[in-house]
Amino acid sequence: MKALLKYGGLLLALGASACIDIDDQPSKVHDFRVLGISTEKPELMAPDCERTPEALEVLTSEVRFRALLVDPAGGGRPIQYTLWACADVEDELCADEANRVKLAEGTTAEGELSLAIRPGAATVGEDIPLLLRVQEADPFKGLGGIRMPLVLHAVAGDEEVYAQKLMVFWCPMVEGMKENVQPVIPGLRVDDAPWTVDALPELRGEGPFVMTADDVAPFEETYVVPGLREESVTLQEAWEIAWYATFGEFSPQVTGGADLGGQKGKHRTEWEPPEDAKEAREVTFWAVVRDGRGGMSWVSRRARWSP
Protein backbone atom coordinates (compact mmCIF):
# COMPACT_ATOMS: atom_id res chain seq x y z
CA MET A 1 0.00 0.00 0.00
CA LYS A 2 2.85 2.33 0.77
CA ALA A 3 4.21 1.70 -2.66
CA LEU A 4 0.81 2.34 -4.09
CA LEU A 5 0.68 5.67 -2.33
CA LYS A 6 3.99 6.60 -3.81
CA TYR A 7 3.01 5.46 -7.25
CA GLY A 8 -0.25 7.35 -6.88
CA GLY A 9 1.63 10.62 -6.77
CA LEU A 10 3.64 9.55 -9.74
CA LEU A 11 0.50 8.64 -11.63
CA LEU A 12 -0.87 12.08 -10.88
CA ALA A 13 2.24 13.66 -12.34
CA LEU A 14 2.12 11.36 -15.34
CA GLY A 15 -1.54 12.11 -15.80
CA ALA A 16 -0.80 15.79 -15.79
CA SER A 17 2.04 15.37 -18.26
CA ALA A 18 -0.33 13.47 -20.52
CA CYS A 19 -2.23 16.74 -20.92
CA ILE A 20 0.75 18.39 -22.55
CA ASP A 21 0.76 18.58 -26.30
CA ILE A 22 4.18 17.37 -27.37
CA ASP A 23 4.61 17.39 -31.13
CA ASP A 24 7.41 14.90 -31.43
CA GLN A 25 5.95 11.45 -30.80
CA PRO A 26 8.08 8.29 -30.87
CA SER A 27 5.89 6.51 -33.40
CA LYS A 28 6.21 9.37 -35.92
CA VAL A 29 9.45 8.87 -37.79
CA HIS A 30 10.39 12.14 -39.44
CA ASP A 31 14.15 12.42 -38.96
CA PHE A 32 17.23 10.29 -38.42
CA ARG A 33 16.59 7.50 -35.94
CA VAL A 34 17.86 4.13 -34.83
CA LEU A 35 14.71 2.07 -34.33
CA GLY A 36 16.29 -1.15 -33.19
CA ILE A 37 19.49 -3.15 -32.85
CA SER A 38 19.76 -6.87 -32.81
CA THR A 39 22.45 -9.47 -32.71
CA GLU A 40 22.16 -12.87 -34.23
CA LYS A 41 22.46 -14.86 -32.04
CA PRO A 42 20.83 -12.71 -29.37
CA GLU A 43 23.01 -14.36 -26.74
CA LEU A 44 25.95 -16.71 -26.61
CA MET A 45 25.71 -19.48 -24.10
CA ALA A 46 28.84 -21.41 -23.26
CA PRO A 47 28.44 -25.14 -22.73
CA ASP A 48 29.81 -24.80 -19.19
CA CYS A 49 30.81 -22.14 -16.70
CA GLU A 50 34.51 -22.94 -16.65
CA ARG A 51 37.12 -21.28 -18.82
CA THR A 52 37.38 -24.26 -21.10
CA PRO A 53 38.36 -24.06 -24.77
CA GLU A 54 34.82 -25.14 -25.67
CA ALA A 55 33.35 -22.37 -23.62
CA LEU A 56 35.73 -19.78 -24.98
CA GLU A 57 35.04 -20.89 -28.51
CA VAL A 58 31.35 -20.25 -28.08
CA LEU A 59 31.80 -16.97 -26.24
CA THR A 60 34.20 -15.59 -28.82
CA SER A 61 32.26 -16.73 -31.84
CA GLU A 62 31.03 -14.36 -34.55
CA VAL A 63 27.63 -12.73 -34.34
CA ARG A 64 25.70 -10.67 -36.85
CA PHE A 65 25.07 -7.12 -35.68
CA ARG A 66 22.05 -5.41 -37.25
CA ALA A 67 20.79 -1.89 -36.77
CA LEU A 68 17.64 -0.42 -38.26
CA LEU A 69 18.59 3.09 -39.38
CA VAL A 70 15.82 5.29 -40.74
CA ASP A 71 16.28 8.72 -42.24
CA PRO A 72 13.11 9.62 -44.13
CA ALA A 73 14.11 13.23 -44.67
CA GLY A 74 17.75 12.49 -45.43
CA GLY A 75 17.37 11.93 -49.16
CA GLY A 76 19.80 9.03 -49.12
CA ARG A 77 22.59 10.96 -47.43
CA PRO A 78 25.56 9.01 -46.08
CA ILE A 79 25.55 7.90 -42.47
CA GLN A 80 28.90 7.58 -40.74
CA TYR A 81 29.05 4.98 -38.06
CA THR A 82 31.40 3.58 -35.46
CA LEU A 83 30.66 0.50 -33.39
CA TRP A 84 32.25 0.15 -29.99
CA ALA A 85 32.19 -2.51 -27.34
CA CYS A 86 32.91 -1.40 -23.79
CA ALA A 87 32.84 -2.60 -20.19
CA ASP A 88 30.23 -0.65 -18.26
CA VAL A 89 26.54 -0.67 -19.16
CA GLU A 90 26.25 2.74 -17.53
CA ASP A 91 28.73 4.06 -20.12
CA GLU A 92 26.13 4.73 -22.77
CA LEU A 93 28.63 6.45 -25.09
CA CYS A 94 31.46 3.94 -24.59
CA ALA A 95 33.45 7.01 -23.63
CA ASP A 96 35.86 5.19 -21.32
CA GLU A 97 38.81 4.80 -23.67
CA ALA A 98 40.62 2.37 -21.39
CA ASN A 99 37.76 -0.05 -21.48
CA ARG A 100 36.47 0.06 -25.02
CA VAL A 101 37.17 -1.66 -28.29
CA LYS A 102 36.27 -0.42 -31.73
CA LEU A 103 34.52 -3.25 -33.55
CA ALA A 104 33.69 -1.53 -36.82
CA GLU A 105 33.36 1.81 -38.57
CA GLY A 106 32.34 3.06 -41.95
CA THR A 107 29.65 4.75 -43.98
CA THR A 108 26.26 3.39 -44.85
CA ALA A 109 22.85 4.57 -45.99
CA GLU A 110 19.49 4.37 -44.34
CA GLY A 111 18.08 0.92 -43.97
CA GLU A 112 19.53 -2.06 -42.21
CA LEU A 113 23.18 -1.93 -41.23
CA SER A 114 24.59 -5.43 -40.97
CA LEU A 115 28.02 -6.21 -39.56
CA ALA A 116 29.82 -9.37 -38.58
CA ILE A 117 31.54 -8.89 -35.23
CA ARG A 118 33.27 -10.95 -32.55
CA PRO A 119 32.68 -8.95 -29.37
CA GLY A 120 33.55 -11.88 -27.10
CA ALA A 121 37.05 -11.91 -28.51
CA ALA A 122 37.69 -8.22 -27.85
CA THR A 123 40.53 -7.36 -25.51
CA VAL A 124 41.67 -4.18 -23.83
CA GLY A 125 44.91 -3.04 -22.28
CA GLU A 126 47.41 -5.81 -22.02
CA ASP A 127 45.31 -8.37 -23.81
CA ILE A 128 42.70 -8.52 -21.11
CA PRO A 129 39.43 -9.95 -22.36
CA LEU A 130 36.83 -7.21 -22.41
CA LEU A 131 34.40 -9.79 -21.09
CA LEU A 132 36.35 -9.83 -17.82
CA ARG A 133 36.14 -6.07 -17.54
CA VAL A 134 32.42 -6.25 -18.18
CA GLN A 135 32.03 -8.76 -15.40
CA GLU A 136 34.08 -6.62 -13.03
CA ALA A 137 32.00 -3.56 -13.75
CA ASP A 138 28.75 -5.45 -13.19
CA PRO A 139 27.51 -5.03 -9.60
CA PHE A 140 26.03 -8.54 -9.85
CA LYS A 141 29.28 -9.94 -11.32
CA GLY A 142 27.56 -11.64 -14.17
CA LEU A 143 24.77 -13.30 -12.20
CA GLY A 144 22.32 -11.98 -14.77
CA GLY A 145 24.66 -12.87 -17.62
CA ILE A 146 27.63 -10.88 -18.79
CA ARG A 147 26.08 -8.00 -20.66
CA MET A 148 28.54 -6.31 -22.92
CA PRO A 149 27.45 -2.87 -24.16
CA LEU A 150 27.74 -2.40 -27.91
CA VAL A 151 27.40 1.25 -28.78
CA LEU A 152 26.71 2.36 -32.31
CA HIS A 153 27.65 5.97 -32.89
CA ALA A 154 25.87 7.10 -36.05
CA VAL A 155 26.03 10.55 -37.64
CA ALA A 156 23.75 11.72 -40.43
CA GLY A 157 24.36 15.33 -41.35
CA ASP A 158 24.09 17.27 -38.13
CA GLU A 159 22.11 14.54 -36.40
CA GLU A 160 23.97 12.24 -34.09
CA VAL A 161 22.87 9.18 -32.17
CA TYR A 162 24.55 6.92 -29.67
CA ALA A 163 22.60 3.66 -29.58
CA GLN A 164 23.37 0.94 -27.07
CA LYS A 165 22.70 -2.77 -27.40
CA LEU A 166 23.63 -5.37 -24.78
CA MET A 167 25.31 -8.48 -26.09
CA VAL A 168 24.59 -11.24 -23.58
CA PHE A 169 27.06 -13.96 -22.73
CA TRP A 170 25.79 -16.79 -20.58
CA CYS A 171 26.77 -20.08 -19.20
CA PRO A 172 24.39 -22.67 -17.67
CA MET A 173 24.68 -21.47 -14.08
CA VAL A 174 21.51 -23.26 -13.00
CA GLU A 175 19.68 -26.22 -14.30
CA GLY A 176 17.31 -25.66 -17.18
CA MET A 177 19.02 -22.66 -18.73
CA LYS A 178 19.04 -22.62 -22.49
CA GLU A 179 20.05 -20.20 -25.18
CA ASN A 180 17.62 -17.47 -26.11
CA VAL A 181 15.87 -17.68 -29.46
CA GLN A 182 15.44 -14.52 -31.49
CA PRO A 183 11.83 -13.29 -31.34
CA VAL A 184 10.13 -12.93 -34.71
CA ILE A 185 6.76 -11.37 -35.40
CA PRO A 186 4.71 -14.15 -37.01
CA GLY A 187 2.61 -11.81 -39.10
CA LEU A 188 0.81 -8.49 -39.18
CA ARG A 189 -2.74 -7.54 -40.01
CA VAL A 190 -4.29 -4.25 -40.93
CA ASP A 191 -7.97 -3.85 -40.24
CA ASP A 192 -8.01 -7.61 -39.67
CA ALA A 193 -6.62 -8.44 -43.13
CA PRO A 194 -3.25 -10.16 -43.53
CA TRP A 195 -0.52 -7.66 -44.29
CA THR A 196 2.39 -9.24 -46.10
CA VAL A 197 5.74 -7.72 -46.88
CA ASP A 198 4.90 -7.27 -50.57
CA ALA A 199 1.39 -5.97 -50.10
CA LEU A 200 0.41 -2.33 -50.49
CA PRO A 201 -3.00 -2.07 -48.90
CA GLU A 202 -5.14 0.99 -49.53
CA LEU A 203 -6.07 2.91 -46.41
CA ARG A 204 -8.73 5.53 -46.97
CA GLY A 205 -10.05 8.24 -44.73
CA GLU A 206 -9.10 9.53 -41.35
CA GLY A 207 -9.02 6.16 -39.62
CA PRO A 208 -8.19 4.97 -37.14
CA PHE A 209 -6.83 1.84 -38.81
CA VAL A 210 -6.39 -1.14 -36.54
CA MET A 211 -3.06 -2.92 -36.83
CA THR A 212 -2.39 -6.15 -35.02
CA ALA A 213 0.28 -8.79 -34.77
CA ASP A 214 -0.61 -12.43 -35.12
CA ASP A 215 -0.63 -14.36 -31.89
CA VAL A 216 2.88 -14.41 -30.47
CA ALA A 217 2.04 -16.45 -27.38
CA PRO A 218 3.25 -19.76 -28.84
CA PHE A 219 6.65 -18.21 -29.47
CA GLU A 220 7.14 -16.55 -26.09
CA GLU A 221 9.72 -18.74 -24.38
CA THR A 222 9.67 -19.99 -20.84
CA TYR A 223 13.19 -19.81 -19.48
CA VAL A 224 15.23 -20.14 -16.34
CA VAL A 225 17.70 -17.67 -14.80
CA PRO A 226 19.73 -17.72 -11.60
CA GLY A 227 17.81 -16.33 -8.66
CA LEU A 228 18.89 -13.75 -6.15
CA ARG A 229 17.01 -15.39 -3.31
CA GLU A 230 16.29 -18.86 -4.60
CA GLU A 231 18.66 -20.86 -6.76
CA SER A 232 16.71 -20.22 -9.94
CA VAL A 233 13.64 -18.41 -11.18
CA THR A 234 11.43 -19.43 -14.04
CA LEU A 235 10.22 -16.65 -16.29
CA GLN A 236 8.07 -16.32 -19.36
CA GLU A 237 8.73 -13.79 -22.06
CA ALA A 238 6.16 -11.08 -22.62
CA TRP A 239 7.08 -9.58 -25.95
CA GLU A 240 6.71 -5.93 -26.66
CA ILE A 241 6.22 -4.53 -30.14
CA ALA A 242 7.05 -0.91 -30.91
CA TRP A 243 5.18 0.57 -33.88
CA TYR A 244 6.51 3.28 -36.20
CA ALA A 245 5.39 5.05 -39.34
CA THR A 246 6.78 7.73 -41.60
CA PHE A 247 3.41 9.46 -41.54
CA GLY A 248 0.75 9.72 -38.85
CA GLU A 249 0.88 8.29 -35.36
CA PHE A 250 0.23 5.06 -33.50
CA SER A 251 -1.68 4.77 -30.28
CA PRO A 252 -0.50 2.95 -28.31
CA GLN A 253 3.01 3.13 -29.61
CA VAL A 254 4.12 0.00 -27.75
CA THR A 255 1.91 -3.05 -27.38
CA GLY A 256 2.20 -6.25 -25.39
CA GLY A 257 4.46 -6.57 -22.39
CA ALA A 258 3.23 -7.41 -18.92
CA ASP A 259 2.32 -5.38 -15.88
CA LEU A 260 3.23 -5.95 -12.22
CA GLY A 261 0.41 -8.41 -11.86
CA GLY A 262 1.59 -10.48 -14.81
CA GLN A 263 -1.27 -9.34 -17.05
CA LYS A 264 -0.08 -9.39 -20.66
CA GLY A 265 -1.06 -6.75 -23.18
CA LYS A 266 -2.50 -7.40 -26.60
CA HIS A 267 -0.65 -6.56 -29.78
CA ARG A 268 -3.29 -4.26 -31.08
CA THR A 269 -2.77 -0.64 -31.99
CA GLU A 270 -4.44 2.06 -34.03
CA TRP A 271 -2.81 4.20 -36.65
CA GLU A 272 -4.19 7.56 -37.66
CA PRO A 273 -2.98 9.96 -40.35
CA PRO A 274 -2.54 13.60 -39.38
CA GLU A 275 -5.83 15.49 -39.12
CA ASP A 276 -4.76 18.09 -41.65
CA ALA A 277 -3.40 15.64 -44.21
CA LYS A 278 -4.82 16.25 -47.68
CA GLU A 279 -2.63 14.34 -50.09
CA ALA A 280 -2.49 10.64 -50.72
CA ARG A 281 0.86 9.03 -50.10
CA GLU A 282 2.73 5.83 -49.50
CA VAL A 283 3.57 5.22 -45.90
CA THR A 284 6.27 2.96 -44.48
CA PHE A 285 5.57 1.13 -41.23
CA TRP A 286 7.90 -0.74 -38.91
CA ALA A 287 7.19 -3.08 -36.06
CA VAL A 288 10.11 -3.89 -33.75
CA VAL A 289 9.71 -6.79 -31.35
CA ARG A 290 11.70 -7.29 -28.14
CA ASP A 291 11.61 -10.35 -25.93
CA GLY A 292 12.89 -8.59 -22.81
CA ARG A 293 16.13 -10.56 -22.58
CA GLY A 294 18.13 -9.22 -25.48
CA GLY A 295 16.31 -10.71 -28.44
CA MET A 296 15.03 -8.26 -31.02
CA SER A 297 13.88 -8.22 -34.65
CA TRP A 298 11.70 -6.12 -36.91
CA VAL A 299 9.50 -6.16 -39.93
CA SER A 300 8.62 -3.42 -42.36
CA ARG A 301 5.39 -2.89 -44.26
CA ARG A 302 4.03 -0.35 -46.67
CA ALA A 303 0.56 0.96 -47.32
CA ARG A 304 -1.01 3.65 -49.48
CA TRP A 305 -3.08 6.15 -47.61
CA SER A 306 -5.53 8.53 -49.22
CA PRO A 307 -7.88 11.02 -47.60
Partner 1 sequence: MLGAAGSTPLQPLTPEFSTRPLLRPSLSGSGNPFSTRMLLPAMSPNVKARSALAAASLLLAGPALAQAPQADAAQPEAAAPAQAQPTITKPPELLQQVEAQYPPEALTQGLTASVRLIITIAEDGTVSDVQPTEAVGNGFDEAAIAAVRQFRFSPAEVDGVSAPVQVEYVYHFTLNAPPPAEGAQAEEQEAPKATLTGQLISRGSRSRVAGATVRCGDDPDAPEALSDADGRFTLQVPPGECAVRVVASGYQLYQTKEQLKPNETTEVNFYLAPSGGALETVVRSERPKKEVVRRTITRQEAQKTPGTFGDPIRVIQALPGVARAPFISGELLVRGSNPGQTATMMDGVRIPILFHLLGGPSVVNAEFIDQLDFYPGGYGSQYGRAVGGIVEVGTRKGAADTLHGSVKIDLMDAGFFLETPITDGISVAAAARRSYIDTLLPAFLPKDEGSTLSVVPRYWDYQLRVDFGAKRGAASEAEAQEQAGGARSSGYVMAFGSDDQLRVVSSGPKVATDIELDTRTTFHRVKGDWTYRKGALTSVFTPYVGLDNSSFDFGAARQDGRQYSVGAREVLGMELSPMLTLRTGLDLVYEYEEYDVEFPAPEDLEYVAFPGAESVGEMLKESISLDAFDGALFLEADVKVGKFTFTPGVRGNLQLVDDTRNLALDPRLWVRYAATERTSLKGSVGLYSQAPETFRFVIEPYGTPDLVYQRAFQTSLGVEHRFTDALDVDLTGFFNRRFKNIVEPGQIIQREGGTFFQERYSNDGIGRAFGVELMVKKNRASAQDKWSGWLSYTLSRALDGRAGPKPARDGGFGGGFLDDQDATFGLSPWDQTHILTLVGNYILGNGWELGGRFRYTTGRPASPLNHTYDVYNSERNGYSPTYGPFFSSRTDGFHQLDVRVEKSWQFQSWTLATYLDVQNIYNASNAEFLTNDYRYRKEYEVPGIPILPVLGVKGSF
Q: Are strands 240-245 and 159-170 parallel, antiparallel or unpaired?
A: unpaired
Signed CA dihedral, 262, 268, 269, 270: sign only: negative
- Cα–Cα distance measured from residue 151 to residue 95, given in angstroms and rounded to the nearest whole number: 10
For residues 94 and 101, which CB has a smaller minimum distance to partner 1 in the complex? 94
Q: How far is the CB of 1 from partner 1 (least distance, A)?
A: 4
For residues 10 and 98, which CB has a smaller minimum distance to partner 1 in the complex? 10
Q: How far is the CB of 13 from partner 1 (least distance, A)?
A: 6
For residues 99 and 255, which CB has a smaller minimum distance to partner 1 in the complex? 255
CB 180 within 8 A of CB 293: yes
CB 170 within 8 A of CB 46: yes
Q: How far is the CB of 41 from partner 1 (least distance, A)?
A: 16
CB 154 within 8 A of CB 80: yes
Q: How far is the CB of 274 from partner 1 (least distance, A)?
A: 17
35 CB-near residues (< 8 Å, 6+ apart): 29, 68, 69, 70, 242, 244, 286, 288, 298
Q: How far is the CB of 110 from partner 1 (least distance, A)?
A: 16
For residues 179 and 281, which CB has a smaller minimum distance to partner 1 in the complex? 179
CB 152 within 8 A of CB 166: no
Q: How far is the CB of 40 from partner 1 (least distance, A)?
A: 14
For residues 2 and 278, which CB has a smaller minimum distance to partner 1 in the complex? 2
For residues 37 and 55, which CB has a smaller minimum distance to partner 1 in the complex? 37
DSSP secondary structure string for all residues of 22-45: -S--TTB--S-EEEEEEEESSEEE
- Cα–Cα distance measured from residue 302 to residue 69, given in angstroms and rounded to the nearest whole number: 17
